């Protein structure tokens, strides 16, 4: 009997300030990559709480999600590093991306594997495409710039 397939549920913060977007540079099995502050939903956590937590842990910025930018399903190409991490199983991510209110910056250590947080323009993000953790980074920025915003009451959490 095969195990039931389940996507990895993740959240991401799409944060724009003065025409620049907050990204993090992180160590991955494929080398240093860029991503939005993002991570996995933990058991018992709402999607918005997960996004605020991941943003603080990865960038040291407080963040309050205010709207859903989009929901994205991405089956990650199965390179050797990914197969080893997933025990040979396909890895698919279901990402909920949020925009919202940027709060204060905190002096704190960043999550393990996060090298630094940085602010990049849309042009700089597009120019670094080969260093992106996934194609979702550029898509989330494009959707944010296109004004895609969905109310948070679209989400229902029965925790």
Pairing mode, strands 92-105 and 38-40: unpaired
Q: Is the four-CA dihedral 103, 124, 97, 109 of positive or negative sign?
A: negative
Q: What are the backbone dihedrals phi and psi of residue 93, each rounded to the nearest 5 degrees, phi first?
A: -110, 135
DSSP helix/strand/coil, 69: strand
Q: Is the pLDDT of residue 84 over 50?
A: no
Average pLDDT of the chain is 93
Dump pLDDT digits (tens) for 35-76: 999 999 999 999 999 999 999 999 999 999 999 999 999 998
pLDDT above 70 as % of the chain = 92
Between residues 64 and 6, which one has the greater pLDDT? 64
Q: Is the pLDDT of residue 81 over 70?
A: no
Q: Is the pTM of this model over 0.85?
A: yes
pLDDT, position 79? 58
| Domains in the chain: boundaries | 8-120+133-153
Q: Is the pLDDT of residue 108 over 80?
A: yes
Q: Secondary structure of the chain: what % helix, strand, coil (to 5)? A: 25, 40, 35
Name the band, by pLDDT with cuts 50, 70 and 90, for residue 6: confident
The closest alpha carbon to 97, from 119, 53, 67, belongs to 67
E runs forming strands in 14-60: 16-17, 20-28, 31-35, 38-40
Q: Which CATH superfamily does the domain covering 8-120+133-153 fall into? A: Nucleoside Triphosphate Pyrophosphohydrolase (3.90.79.10)
Contact between 10 and 54 (Cβ < 8 Å)? no
Contact between 1 and 42 (Cβ < 8 Å)? no
């Amino acid at each position: 009997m095969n195990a039931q397939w389940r996507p990895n549920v993740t959240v991401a913060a799409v944060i724009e300030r003065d025409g620049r977007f907050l990204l993090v540079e992180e160590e991955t099995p494929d080398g240093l990559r860029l991503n939005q502050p993002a991570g996995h939903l933990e058991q018992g956590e709402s999607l918005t709480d997960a996004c605020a937590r991941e943003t603080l842990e990865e960038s040291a910025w407080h963040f309050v999600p205010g709207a859903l930018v989009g929901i994205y399903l991405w089956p990650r190409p199965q390179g050797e590093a990914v197969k080893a991490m997933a025990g040979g199983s396909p890895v698919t991510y279901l990402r909920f991306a949020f925009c919202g209110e940027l709060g204060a910056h905190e002096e704190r250590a960043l999550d393990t594997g996060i090298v630094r947080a940085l602010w990049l323009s849309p042009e700089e993000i597009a120019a670094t495409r080969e260093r992106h953790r996934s194609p979702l980074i550029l898509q989330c920025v494009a959707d944010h710039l296109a004004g895609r915003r969905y109310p948070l009451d679209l989400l229902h959490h029965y925790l």
